[in-house]
Chain A
Amino acid sequence: MAPQDLDFSSAAGDFSYGTDYAYDAGSGLTEDTVRYISGHKEEPRWLLEFRLEALELFRRLEMPDWAPMKKSDLDYENIRCYLARGDGTGNRWEDVPAEVKETFDRLGVPEQEKKFLAGVEAQFDSEMAYANLKDDLQRQGVIFVSSSEGLLRYESLFRPYFGTVVAAAENPFSALNGAVFSGGSFIYVPPGVKIDRPLQAYFRINAERSGQFERTLIVVGENARVTYLEGCTAPKFETATLHAAVVEVVVLAGAEVQYITVQNWSANVYNLVTKRALAHQNATVRWIDCNVGSRLTMKYPSVILAGEGASGSVLSISVAKDGQLQDTGARMVHRASKTHSRVVAKSLSIGGGSAIYRGTISMAGGFERCRSHSRCDGLLLREDSISRTFPHMDCGGTGNVIEHEASVSKISDEQLFYLRQRGIGESQALGLLVNGFFDELIREFPMEYGVELKRLIEMEMEKVTTAGEVSRG
């Protein structure tokens, strides 16, 4: 595919259309809000109870001490929890309402679908506006629908796994998500089905002061394989916007999942996401997590290595510009023998931006021959840019090994001068240096995705040089 087809840049995302919402839960967060959403979706009783319980948890829970924000930093009375046009989900772009279609056209979603995707979902505020899956995959029993549709149409596949990997009680925002979630994907891949081309979801916040609370559940049958890509953008509104998602991935024996995120929310979005995979025997999970946008991101993709021989990895890239805090990392929980985990996190801090890595690796006693390796590299563009690493490691059992390496470096004036002396302009030179720093990690990504990410980083570097955020001496 041509690189320009997949555009996650914030410039490309900075637009919005006036839209009429037929269903609006209003501002604020009360039991009525929850009942409104659940009623509108015609959900079963058990789910309404789940939501109400989650709301109760949200009221009680506070953020952990180490968190860079408090629960009270956000004004929940002014967040619109549910906004839907009421058009339903189309499976042909022609059926998608014009202004919604225009949004996704401008973001290049339909073209990408034609070129290299096996299926696409596009969420507009609270609901999926479009969902389509290639016919041959449908025939093989693959399910790729919005989570709301998944729980109604495929309850026997959905319900046993829902809420089993990420508990609502885990943190205030997993609880909030449990109370008001809408949209997100439900994917089921039957045993032995290997999907080569990625399934993609595109998340779009269009309305000001709205919150997006999608919930994704992926169940991959034994020896099956799938790659899931998600991209996020929003226009730049004046007020803070909240994105609090929950992602649960269940990977049965011998199955493989690759979950790729390009997060490029505009700089006023609080992006508070709980993502976790449960890996059974010999299963493989790989999170590729790239955070370029948002005001604050807190996200630590994790893998519970529950079956012998399971392996999990997190490849994480963060870019923190002035005014941004990227608080990201990984969690690996070894709960069986011969499990392996690997974390490579690279962050770039620009201007007054902060990139924080938090990693937890735990190996409980009673298991043996587990290995884990983490590496965190921070690159600073200026002296006042911030990069911090908080690794936490518990190593029990026998013959288990946890390794951790960390480094912080700064782009030197000598490196910049060398490139400029070769005739390369300052922003291109910075782009080369930054992409050089990320290069060994990006090489591990699927190719079309790596190309696009590099281009996104180059564009960010152009903005940085124009804004004069690079120091001179």
Chain B
Amino acid sequence: MEKSLDKGGTDGKVSPMDGALSLQNVCVDHGDRRLVRDFSLELRPEELRVLMGPNGAGKSSLLKALAGHPDYAISSGSVLLDGFSVAAASPEERARRGLFLAFQSPVALPGISLAQLLRAARQERLLPGKSLDIMAFYGELHGALDALGMDRSWSTRSTNDGFSGGEQKRCELLQILLLKPRYLLLDEIDSGLDVDALRLVVQTLRSLQQEGAGILLVTHYQRLLESLSPDGVHLLQDGSLLRSGGMELARELDVKGFQ
């Protein structure tokens, strides 16, 4: 985190405090198929914006492309992360600059414990030559596990390996708490959760938002949004941004569907 802030401050024209994740006329291609067209959006710190749309509209593809997935190319348009153009940046560099993608179905990583993963991720955010304070790290990890109602033995489990849907989502939230990203791209972080887990997601997102994170949330469920009071709701259909609005748009979509 220290590193990403440092870099954001030196490279960009915009100071990190009033930066933004800004997308202008972004097109996303997968092979020779265009999945997203001319999509523009600005997400500022402390904002929560919602991306809605039917299955296959291009929501997940857009998030993956932003994070630098090699199969999803941003073929035109620009993406600025606090003023830094991500076009040529590797996924890891984008992540170190504060971009986090919570996956809809996180892939299993057999043999890599959550603690190992997070230690490596935190270590890579330090300046070269610095090493992680292990005691402090475990203190933080245990604090985050407690906050999410997860048993401490979780830290030794293989990441996402044999996790239930709800466990996967908690595991993504845990990583967010430990990595403290500036911009969160959340791909259906609410799907498959029971009421208690949903409440936990809402609480966590709110406090992250208050601490200054900008959140772009992909969801199908209006119910989650009522308790999050988003700053904007955006409807993506067939790869294009069809409409933008506030909560009233989410309510309308909930009643009428996407047609």
Contact = CB atoms under 8 A, between A and B. Distances in A.
B112 A420 contact: no
B121 to A, nearest CB: 4
Given A432-B120, A437-B110, 9 more contacts: A413-B70, A413-B71, A415-B107, A419-B120, A421-B68, A421-B91, A423-B121, A428-B124, A436-B112
Contacts of B68: 420-421
A420 B107 contact: no
A439 B111 CA distance: 6
B109 to A, nearest CB: 6
Interface centre among A426, A429, A440, A473 (most CB of B within 10 A): A429
Contacts of A425: 90, 92, 124
B95 A436 contact: no
B57 interface: no
Contact of B125 (A423, A426, A437): A423
B134 to A, nearest CB: 15
Contacts of A413: 70-71
A349 B68 CA distance: 27
A417 B92 contact: no
A438 B110 CA distance: 10
B179 A419 contact: no
A418 B92 contact: no
A106 B106 CA distance: 44
B109 A436 contact: yes
Interface in A392-447: 412-415, 417-426, 428-429, 432-433, 435-440
A415 B109 contact: yes
A420 B90 contact: yes
For the residues of B in contact with A, the DSSP-based class is mixed
Given A414-B107, A417-B70, A432-B120, A424 B92 contact: yes
B177 to A, nearest CB: 13
Contacts of A436: 109-112, 158
Interface size class of A (residues with CB under 8 A): 20 to 34
24 contacts: A413-B71, A417-B91, A418-B103, A419-B120, A420-B95, A421-B67, A421-B92, A421-B95, A422-B95, A422-B117, A423-B96, A423-B121, A424-B124, A425-B92, A426-B90, A428-B124, A432-B116, A432-B120, A433-B111, A437-B111, A438-B111, A440-B111, A473-B70, A473-B71
B191 to A, nearest CB: 18
A472 B73 CA distance: 13
Contacts of B120: 419, 422, 424, 428, 432
Contacts of A423: 92, 95-96, 121, 124-125, 179
Interface in B97-120: 100-101, 103, 106-107, 109-112, 116-118, 120
Contacts of B112: 419, 432-433, 436, 439
Given A417-B70, A432-B116, A473-B70, A422 B110 contact: no
Interface centre among A418, A425, A429, A432 (most CB of B within 10 A): A418
A423 B112 CA distance: 15
A421 B68 CA distance: 8
A435 B110 CA distance: 10
B161 to A, nearest CB: 9
A439 B158 CA distance: 11
A364 to B, nearest CB: 37
Contact of B107 (A418, A426, A432): A418
A419 B175 CA distance: 12
A421 B106 CA distance: 12
Interface in B55-114: 67-71, 90-92, 94-96, 100-101, 103, 106-107, 109-112
A417 B95 contact: no
Nearest to B111: A436
B70 A472 contact: yes
Contact of A419 (B101, B110, B111, B117): B117
Contacts of B103: 418
B125 to A, nearest CB: 6
A429 B70 CA distance: 15
Contacts of A435: 111
A428 B103 CA distance: 21
Contacts of B107: 412, 414-415, 418
Contacts of B96: 423
Contacts of B101: 421
Interface in A74-132: none
B4 to A, nearest CB: 8
A4 to B, nearest CB: 14
A473 B106 CA distance: 19
A58 to B, nearest CB: 43
Nearest to B97: A423
B114 to A, nearest CB: 11
Contacts of A426: 90, 92
B141 to A, nearest CB: 14
B219 to A, nearest CB: 20
A424 B69 contact: no
A422 B111 contact: no
B109 A422 contact: no
A422 B178 CA distance: 11
B101 to A, nearest CB: 5
Interface in B20-39: none
Given A432-B116, A435-B111, A417 B69 contact: yes
A376 to B, nearest CB: 16
Contacts of A437: 110-111
Nearest to B91: A420
Interface in B132-186: 158, 175, 179
Contacts of B175: 422
Interface centre among B71, B109, B111, B124 (most CB of A within 10 A): B111
